[in-house]
Amino acid sequence: MDRKLYLQKILDTALKNRVTEMFGKNSYIKITNLIYVRSKDCYTINAVLHLDDLEVDSELITDGAPLIIKQAWVVVGDKKPIMVNFSLDVP
């Protein structure tokens, strides 16, 4: 299975409860791109955090979303480091 799809599947199943607890009931993380950067010997993950609740603390967003993606990467990755870039989608 493709790493990007596998990473998305883990976020949508195993870590779904964590995402909804941190960001709201209908919130989710969508992986938009996963690229291997040879010069840095790491992966770059681009993601979008779709928020349900606008009252979420900004520190929770900046620290929480990359943390959840890193937890999923432990299962998918081959011990290579990652850089997480994410954007927000709010209603």
Which residues are 33's β-sheet partners? 46
This prediction has a pTM of 0.92
Structure confidence at residue 32 (pLDDT): 98
Q: Which two tokens stand for residue 22?
A: 């941190």
Summarize pLDDT for 16-46 with one digit per residue, the tens. 999 999 999 999 999 999 999 999 999 999 9
Q: Position 14: which residue type?
A: A
CA dihedral angle for residue 64, residue 66, residue 71, residue 73, rounded to 10 degrees: 170
Tell me, which fold does domain 3-89 have in CATH?
A: GMP Synthetase; Chain A, domain 3 (3.30.300)
Domain map of the chain by residue range? 3-89
Q: How far apart are CA 53 and CA 27, in angstroms?
A: 8
